[in-house]
Structure 1
Amino acid sequence: MAQIVVDIADMRISKNPGDTLITYSLGSCVGVAIYDPVIGLGGMIHCMLPLSKVDREKAQVRPYMFVDTGMQQMLTRLYEGGLRKARAVIHVAGGSQVLDSQGVFKIGERNFTVLRKILWKNGLLMETQEVGGNRSRTISLDIGTGRFTIKSGGRITHYDLP
């Protein structure tokens, strides 16, 4: 069984049933896992910032750093791999205020808002969301089973396919 780490500002896709996609330390960043149970295709992204317009040049080099450019590219790649909207199971975590306890920048909240808009515009709904608060989260997606797991504050929560 291979564990594929999705780094910050990164995205990975797999169709190998022995793979598990995992990303660590989602604070204000938002992590999204999308899975198609019929074809066993899954993807995960770890985005830092909501909008690429703050640095268009960086968005060209690292599109997954931003929710707007990263999500569009991930969706395109998943659709090319055979994902169908009607079968997409989407899990979201992160968007907290770990380093912004006063809520000055609200990066986590803004990340989640942009993500929701992108999903809505694409006709996609979230199955699971654990966002906000002030704690870090680690998420994983088992490609063989579609099981999504969130680890946070000593707690582990598993979400199996609906």
Structure 2
Amino acid sequence: MSVLAARAGQMASHRYFDRDIGCMAVKLLPSEYYVTEDNTALTTVLGSCVAACLHDPQAGVAGMNHFMLPADADEQPRSHADAMRYGEYAMDVLLRELLRSGAKRERLHAKVFGGGAVLPTMTTLNIGDRNADFVVQYLREQGIAIAAQDLRGPHARRVCFLPSTGKAVVRKLRTQAGVQMIQRDEQALMHRLVGDAAPTPAARQPASRPA
């Protein structure tokens, strides 16, 4: 085990053996990130949230985050854990910890996922689109190339990122129950952040593709 990023933010701690890919993995929840230099896979499940995977293959270091909203409009101080909900902070933390761990900005490339429209009652806020727009703009401003992206659309996603190869596999959720779980979880999280309500679930067709 090689964990390099315990100095800021909220590091993911849910480690498990992923039978599908045959190796140890870390599952990221909303507001978490993880940086590693070993073969630990990084996984997460996304609705309207976004995950950014950054990788420096020469340094052998990679990381992922999972954020819920693009920027914090409230100027009041927040704890690290609360601030990690917002892309502006979550991206800064991930990039800073990668650079501290030996990555070079000019060698980093990114793969970004999520921003789905899974909360129909929140369409006026366009949360998924805002998250997607934010992460693309952030990476552009930082001069980090986007090697692959799967953003927006009507579906939730499960993402598995393999730091050893830089490959990411994106799978659409297979069951209505899975979609309902994402919608329920995001309803509770978003309700606390923006005071909105969650939608009635709708089934989606499964699909998967490598990135």
TM (norm. structure 1) is 0.88
Q: 1:44 matched to which residue of 2? A: 64
Contact preservation (8 Å) 2:106, 2:143: no
Give the Å deviation of 1:109.
0.9
The alignment yields a C-alpha RMSD, in angstroms, of 1.7
Please say if 1:11 is aligned against 2:33: yes
The structure 2 residue matched to 1:88, chosen from 108, 131, 146, is 108
Contact preservation (8 Å) 1:35, 1:42: yes
**Structure 2, gaps ≥5 residues long:** 1-22, 173-204
Q: Which sits farther off after the overlay, 55-64 or 133-142?
A: 55-64
SS in 2 for 1:105: coil
Give the Å deviation of 1:119.
1.1
Trace 1:129-140 onto structure 2 (pairs within 5 A): 129-140=149-160
Q: 2:131 matched to which residue of 1? A: 111
Please say if 1:23 is aligned against 2:62: no
**Distance of 1:61 and 1:147 partners within structure 2:** 28
Aligned length: 157
Amino acid of the structure 2 residue aligned with 1:113: D
Amino acid of the structure 2 residue aligned with 1:157: R
**Higher RCO structure, 1 or 2 (CA under 8 Å, sep 6+):** 1
Contact preservation (8 Å) 1:100, 1:106: no
- What is the aligned-residue identity percentage? 24
TM (norm. structure 2) is 0.69
* Change over 3 Å in CA distance of 1:114–1:56 after alignment to 2: farther
The structure 1 residue matched to 2:142, chosen from 115, 122, 134, is 122
**Structure 1, gaps ≥5 residues long:** none
- Answer 1 or 2: which has greater strand percent: 1
